[in-house]
Amino acid sequence: MQSILTMIVRRLLTLVPLMLGIALFVFVVMRLSPVNSAVAALGDQASPEQIAEYEASRGLDQPAPVQFVRFLGHVLRGDFGETIGVARPVSTLVGEALPLTLQLTAIGVFLALVLALVLGITAALFRDRWPDQVIRVLSMTGISVPSFWLALLMIQHLSLGLGWFPNAGYANPSDGLGPFLRSMAMPAIALAVPVGASLARIVRTSMVEELDKEYVRTAYGAGLPPVVVVGRNVLRNALVNPLTVLGLRVGYLLGGTIIIEAIFSMPGMGTLVMQSVTNNDTNLAQGTILVIAFCFVIVNLVVDILYLFANPRLRGGH
C-alpha cells in the first residue's frame, strides 16, 4: 500500500509542470493569434486611443513575461476574465457548461467500455469462428464511422423518423431521470461507438494473448470452471493494455463533445468553444481550453492509478 501511495504522490507532482506547460502553450498560441482582442471587444470602429486604453487596463501593453505571470495568477484564482459583448465572467460560463460535458463524457465512456468488453471478450472466446469474424467487421465499421455522421443518422432515423429521442436540447437530471437519459442517449452513443469499437479490438487481442498462456491451461487442468478462470484471472490481466489506451480515448471523447454538442444544441463546453471561435473571444477560448486540458490530465491520472491496481507487477518495480 505504501508503494501505491508513493507512486500516486509522484504522479500528482508531475501535474504541476504539466499544467504550467499547458498554460504557457495556451498563452503563446493566443498571443500569436492574428485576432486583436481589443478590436474584437471594442469593434472595428474603435480609435487608437480607445484600443490603447483597453490594452493598458488589462495589462496587454506589458512585456510578454509580465503578461504570462499575470495570466497565471488569474488562472490560479479561477479568473479567466470576461467574455466579449455581454461581459460575463468566463469562470461562470464554464461552471454552467462543464457539468453537462462531464456527464456526456462519463456516459460515453461507460457505453464505450460496455461495448468494448462485450465485443472483445466474445470475439476472444470464439476466436476464428463466425462470432469473431462478425465482431471484427462490426469493429472496423464502428472505427470508420465519424461521430458527427452517426449523430446525424440517429437524428434522422431515431428522432425525426421514429420519435424515440429528442433531436436537440438537454434535460437536467433534476427534471427527471427519464428525460435526462433520453436527451443524453444519442449524443453519448455517437461518442461511444468509435471509441468502443477501437477498444474492442484491443480487448480481443489482450484476451487472446492471455488465453494462450500456460497458467490458463494449468487452471483448466486443475478443474476450475471457465467463469472463474476467465473472470478472475484472464480478464483482470487482459484489461491492463485497454486501460492504457482508455486515457487517450477519453481525450478523444472530450474533444468530440465540441462537435456533438453543437449538433444537438447542448449548452456544454463544446458550445463555449464554438462561441469563442465565432466571436473571436480570446478570454473564453483560453478558459475553455485550459479547463478541458485540465480535465484530460486528471482523467489520465485516474487511469494511471487504475493501471497500477490492475498490474501488481508495476508496483513491485518501483
Residue 36, pLDDT score = 65
Question: Is 249's pLDDT higher than 50?
Answer: yes
Q: Is the model's pLDDT at 269 over the cut of 60?
A: yes
Q: Average of pLDDT values for 193-214?
A: 84
Rounded to the nearest 5 percent, the helix, strand and coil shares of the chain are 80, 0, 20
Distance CA 27, CA 80 (A): 12
Give residue 318's pLDDT.
Answer: 44
For residue 286, what is the enclosing H or E element?
helix 282-310
Per-residue pLDDT reduced to its tens digit, 80-94? 777 776 678 888 888
Q: Which CATH superfamily is domain 99-281 in?
A: MetI-like (1.10.3720.10)
The confidence band for 310, taking pLDDT boundaries of 50, 70 and 90, is low
pLDDT by residue (tens digit) across 221-242?
777 777 777 777 777 777 777 7
Between CA 168 and CA 166 the distance in angstroms is 6
pLDDT beyond 60 at 315? no
Domain residue spans in the chain? 99-281
What pLDDT, in 10s, does the model give residues 102-114? 888 888 888 988 8
163: left (phi over 0), alpha (psi -120 to 50) or beta: left
Tell me, what's the pLDDT at 290?
86
Rounded CA-CA distance 17/139 in Å is 38
